[in-house]
Chains A and B, each alone.
Chain A
Amino acid sequence: QKEVEQNSGPLSVPEGAIASLNCTYSDRGSQSFFWYRQYSGKSPELIMSIYSNGDKEDGRFTAQLNKASQYVSLLIRDSQPSDSATYLCAVNEGRGSTLGRLYFGRGTQLTVWP
Chain B
Amino acid sequence: EAGVAQSPRYKIIEKRQSVAFWCNPISGHATLYWYQQILGQGPKLLIQFQNNGVVDDSQLPKDRFSAERLKGVDSTLKIQPAKLEDSAVYLCASSFRVAGELFFGEGSRLTVL
Contacts and interface: CB of A to CB of B under 8 A. Distances in A.
Interface of A: 4, 8, 32-34, 42-46, 49, 88, 90, 92, 94, 96-107
Contacts of A94: 99
Contacts of A90: 42, 100
Nearest to A96: B98
Interface residues of B, number: 24
B25 interface: no
Nearest to A100: B99
B63 interface: no
A98 B42 contact: no
B91 A43 contact: yes
Contacts of B42: 4, 88, 90, 104-107
Interface stretch (B15-23, B71-79, B80-88, B103-111): B103-111
B45 A44 contact: no
Contacts of A49: 98, 100-101
Contacts of B98: 32, 49, 96-97
B52 interface: no
A101 B48 contact: yes
B31 A99 contact: yes
Contacts of B48: 99, 101
A98 B99 contact: yes
A101 B93 CA distance: 13
Interface in B1-54: 31, 33, 40-45, 48, 50
Contacts of A101: 45, 48, 56
A103 B42 CA distance: 9
B41 A46 contact: no
B112 interface: no
B97 interface: yes
Nearest to B92: A43
Give 9 closest A-B pairs by Cβ, nearest first.
A104-B42, A43-B104, A92-B100, A104-B43, A106-B42, A32-B100, A100-B99, A34-B100, A99-B99
